[in-house]
């Protein structure tokens, strides 16, 4: 059906078979669902002045995730929270809009096509725009640690020995809308956390992206990623050179750095780089090459960037989904050979070149 442009209906069951309750709640309520926020710790309400945090996540008898405000007695499920955040009533028509918003956020169904995302946003803003809507301010308080044997072993698999830009995390606390900081994470060798950082000078806030490499989807310990802002990773470290690689994670940025290449990572594989930054990159580099994951999200974003800015690209396939895994499986020299072959191909006249897919097993 997908190849014909046809997609199944976006229903509640369709959404929940593909995205967990926790992921949806984390996105819309912006306070992570963790062991600490499930019954044991009170969190602040986003919908009133809650100076004495009195809300909790919990699961009902049917396993449905809820958040309860013990002061007002209000209980909300994931769809109620999404409705409040979007300013939509949960009538039949409104619920359809909520389901489509969730599908858009997580790039499900027809929203794998970026043009459909833009179309939805335009219609939504025209119909449901809220003039008084303000986004929550999330701050993290972080305690760092020194790298240990486990860290050196993990990053060494990708050939990374220079840790510039990688922060090793001992403890994380979180504050939402200037409320007191709450405990979020403490170091465990079986659950390490690494972070990337950038300062937002306009909002006077430190932007963090936390990465938990061992966690998997639906992990009870929490999400694989946490962040309080969107930023191009590695932007502050680049310097003029021949080639720039645009990849999908700061981990892969460090892999390319380790073989002598400049690289940056998208804020996420569903967040495109704007024309201003592309122009900035072209003022520093002769060749800009895209390397995202060979999955649905990565392919969609790659095709968007290719069409929008006429940038060449390549994917890793087979047993390696990204640069880190490729170096782990094949070594740094193999990655150098790939980039050299791309450079030799594109250096003749990259502007006139019509990019074609190149897969490396």
282-324 pLDDT, tens per residue?
Answer: 999 988 999 999 888 888 888 888 888 888 888 988 888 899 9
- The confidence band for 355, taking pLDDT boundaries of 50, 70 and 90, is very low
Query: Shortest CA distance to 182 belongs to which of 329, 57, 17?
Result: 57
Domain topology for 235-360: Dna Topoisomerase Vi A Subunit; Chain: A, domain 2 (3.40.1360)
256-269 pLDDT, tens per residue?
Answer: 999 999 999 998 87
pLDDT given at position 153: 94
Higher-scoring residue by pLDDT: 349, 136 = 136
Q: Domain segments of the chain: what residues?
A: 2-128, 138-227, 235-360
11-46 pLDDT, tens per residue?
Answer: 889 988 888 888 888 888 877 787 777 765 577 777
Considering just the CA atoms, what is the radius of gyration of the chain in Å?
A: 22
91-123 pLDDT, tens per residue?
Answer: 778 888 889 889 888 888 888 877 777 887 777
């Amino acid at each position: 059906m997908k190849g014909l442009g046809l997609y199944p209906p976006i229903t509640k069951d369709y959404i929940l078979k593909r995205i967990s309750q926790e992921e949806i709640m984390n996105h819309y309520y912006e306070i992570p669902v963790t062991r600490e926020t499930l019954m044991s710790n009170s969190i602040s309400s986003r919908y009133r002045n809650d100076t004495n945090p009195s809300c909790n996540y919990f699961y009902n008898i049917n396993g449905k995730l809820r958040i309860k405000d013990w002061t007002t007695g209000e209980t909300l499920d994931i769809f109620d929270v999404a409705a409040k955040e979007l300013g939509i009533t949960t009538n039949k028509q409104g619920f359809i809009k909520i389901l489509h918003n969730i599908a858009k956020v997580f790039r499900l169904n027809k929203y794998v096509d970026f043009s459909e995302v833009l179309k939805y946003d335009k219609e939504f803003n025209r119909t449901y725009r809220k003039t008084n809507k303000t986004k929550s301010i999330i701050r993290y308080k972080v305690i760092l640690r020194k790298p240990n044997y486990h860290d050196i072993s993990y990053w060494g698999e990708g050939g990374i020995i220079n840790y510039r830009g990688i922060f090793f995390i001992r403890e994380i606390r979180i504050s939402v809308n200037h409320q007191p900081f709450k405990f979020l994470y403490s170091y465990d060798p079986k659950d390490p956390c690494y972070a990337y950082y950038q300062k937002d000078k306009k909002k006077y806030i430190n932007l963090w992206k936390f990465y938990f490499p061992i966690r998997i989807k639906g992990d009870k310990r929490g999400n694989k990623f946490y962040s309080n802002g969107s930023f191009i990773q590695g932007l502050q470290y680049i310097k003029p050179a021949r080639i720039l690689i645009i990849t999908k994670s700061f981990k892969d940025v460090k892999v390319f750095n380790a073989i002598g290449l400049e690289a940056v990572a998208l804020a996420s594989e569903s967040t495109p780089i704007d024309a201003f930054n592309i122009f900035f990159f072209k003022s520093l580099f002769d060749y800009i090459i895209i390397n995202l994951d060979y999955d649905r999200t990565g392919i969609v974003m790659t095709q968007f960037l290719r069409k929008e800015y006429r940038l060449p690209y390549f994917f890793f396939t087979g047993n390696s989904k990204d640069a880190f895994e490729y170096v782990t499986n094949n070594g740094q020299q193999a990655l150098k050979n790939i980039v050299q072959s791309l450079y030799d191909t594109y250096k003749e006249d990259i502007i006139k070149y019509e990019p074609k897919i190149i897969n490396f097993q």
